[in-house]
C-alpha cells in the first residue's frame, strides 16, 4: 500500500527565521507589530512565530514539505471561512511567498486563536455544529485535493490503513494483535471491502484533523474557542472528519452533535463505521490510554460490516 505522507525534500535545511525578518514580514500586514514572543514547532510540518499577544506568522518547514499540506490552500480557506465561522477560525491578515536574505519564504500572517488546545470532550457539543457548517460551505474543488469518485476515496483509505500497518513495529506486533479480534491484515481488508462502489454524497470541505491539537477552548469557561490549521484540508466524505478523538465515546458524542438529532443515511453510517475502525486501529497501534476501549469498539463495528 502507498503511504499518505511523502516528504519531497527531507535533506533540506531548516533554519529558524531571524526575529527581525519575522517582524519585517508581519509589518507588511500589521504595522504596529513589535516583538517576537515565541517560536512553536509542535506542529511538525509548520513553524509558528508568535508576535505580540495576538498575531501569528506561519511557515512550512522545508524538510517537512509534503504535497498534501499547503499554506496557499490554508490562506484561501481562512478567507473563505471568515464570513461563516467568524472568530472561530483565525483571521487571515496576509499571505505571500517572497525572496529574502534567508532564501525564499512562504508564509501566512493571521490572528492567534485565543484559549488553548483541549482534550475536554465538553467542547464536542459545539464542535459538531461547527463541522456541519464547515462541510456545508461551498468550496472550489480545484483549489484542494478532492475525492470526487469512489475510487479516489478507496485509494485514500487504502493509503491510510497502509500507514497504520507500516507503523506497527516488531516490538509492538504482539501487543497490537493481542488486542484485535482478528489479524491486522484481515481487519483492514474487511474495512476496505465495506467501502461503497458508488457515492451519493458529493465531496465536502473537511478540516482533516479536528482533534485535540487543533481544537481550542476558553480556559475559563471551557467552551469552544475555535479550530486552527487548515493546511491539510481536503474534500471528501463528511464522515471522515468525525473520528479524530482517541476515545470512542468522544467520537460517538461528536457524531451525535454533528447530526443534531437528524437520521444518518446508510452511506454515512457505513463510512463513519469504517472511519471509526481506522481511528480504533490508530489508538491500538499507538498504545493510547483508550486502546482497550478502542479494541472493543473495533470488534463491535467489524461485526456490523
Task: Kindly report, residue by residue over 119-156, the tens digit of the pLDDT.
Answer: 999 999 999 999 999 999 999 999 999 999 999 999 99
Residue 60: the pLDDT is 87
**Residue 67 pLDDT greater than 90, yes or no:** no
User: What one-character-per-residue DSSP string does the chain give?
Assistant: ---S---S-TTS--PPPPHHHHHHHHTTT-TT---EEEEE-TTSSEEEEEETTTEEEEEE-GGG--TT--HHHHHHHHHHHHHHHGGGSPPEEEEEEEEETTEEEEEEEEEPPPSEE---GGGHHHHHHHHHHHHHS---GGGS-B--SHHHHHHHHHHHHHHHHHT--HHHHHHHHHHSSS-HHHHHHHHHHTS-SS-SSPPEEE-S--STTTEEE-TTT--EEEE---TT-EEE-GGGGS--SSSHHHHHHHHHHHHTTPPPPHHHHHHHHHHHHHHHHHHHHTT-TTHHHHHHHHHHHHTT-
Confidence of residue 14 (pLDDT cuts 50, 70, 90): confident
Which carries the bigger pLDDT value, residue 45 or residue 116? 116
**Residue 40 pLDDT greater than 50, yes or no:** yes
**Residue 106 pLDDT greater than 50, yes or no:** yes
- CATH homologous superfamily of 19-112 equals Phosphorylase Kinase; domain 1 (3.30.200.20)
**Class for domain 117-302, per CATH?**
alpha beta
Residue 6: the pLDDT is 62
Q: List, for residues 249-281, the tens digit of each pLDDT value.
A: 999 999 999 999 999 999 999 999 999 999 999
Confidence of residue 9 (pLDDT cuts 50, 70, 90): low
Dist. CA 56–CA 53, nearest whole Å: 9
**Domain spans in the chain, listed from the N-terminal domain onward:** 19-112, 117-302
In this structure, of 6-15, 95-104, 188-197, 238-247, the range with the lowest mean pLDDT score is 6-15
pTM for the full predicted model: 0.92
Residue 27: the pLDDT is 98
Amino acid at each position: 500500500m502507498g503511504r499518505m505522507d511523502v516528504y519531497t525534500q527531507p535533506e533540506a535545511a531548516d533554519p529558524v527565521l531571524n526575529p527581525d525578518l519575522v517582524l519585517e514580514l508581519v509589518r507588511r500586514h500589521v504595522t504596529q507589530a513589535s516583538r517576537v514572543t515565541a517560536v512553536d514547532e509542535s506542529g511538525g510540518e509548520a513553524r509558528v512565530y508568535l508576535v505580540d499577544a495576538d498575531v501569528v506568522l506561519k511557515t512550512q518547514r522545508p524538510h517537512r514539505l509534503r504535497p498534501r499540506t499547503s499554506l496557499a490552500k490554508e490562506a484561501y480557506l481562512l478567507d473563505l471561512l471568515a464570513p461563516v465561522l467568524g472568530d472561530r477560525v483565525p483571521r487571515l491578515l496576509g499571505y505571500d511567498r517572497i525572496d529574502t536574505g534567508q532564501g525564499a519564504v512562504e508564509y501566512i500572517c493571521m490572528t492567534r486563536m485565543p484559549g488553548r488546545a483541549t482534550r475536554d470532550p465538553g467542547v464536542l457539543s459545539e464542535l459538531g455544529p461547527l463541522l456541519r457548517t464547515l462541510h456545508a460551505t461551498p468550496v472550489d474543488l480545484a483549489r484542494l485535493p478532492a475525492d470526487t469518485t469512489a475510487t479516489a476515496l478507496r485509494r485514500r483509505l487504502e493509503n491510510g490503513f497502509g500507514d497504520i500497518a507500516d507503523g506497527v513495529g516488531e516490538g509492538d506486533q504482539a501487543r497490537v494483535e493481542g488486542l484485535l479480534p482478528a489479524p491486522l491484515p484481515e481487519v483492514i481488508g474487511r474495512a476496505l471491502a465495506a467501502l461503497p462502489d458508488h457515492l451519493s454524497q458529493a465531496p465536502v470541505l473537511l478540516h482533516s484533523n479536528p482533534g485535540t491539537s487543533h481544537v481550542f477552548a476558553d480556559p475559563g469557561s471551557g467552551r469552544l474557542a475555535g479550530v486552527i490549521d487548515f493546511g491539510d484540508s481536503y474534500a471528501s466524505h463528511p464522515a471522515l472528519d468525525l473520528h479524530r478523538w482517541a476515545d470512542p465515546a468522544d467520537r460517538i458524542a461528536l457524531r451525535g452533535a454533528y447530526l443534531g438529532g437528524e437520521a444518518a443515511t446508510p452511506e454515512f453510517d457505513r463510512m463513519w463505521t469504517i472511519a471509526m475502525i481506522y481511528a480504533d486501529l490508530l489508538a491500538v497501534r499507538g498504545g493510547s490510554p483508550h486502546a482497550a476501549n478502542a479494541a472493543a469498539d473495533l470488534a463491535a463495528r467489524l461485526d456490523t460490516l
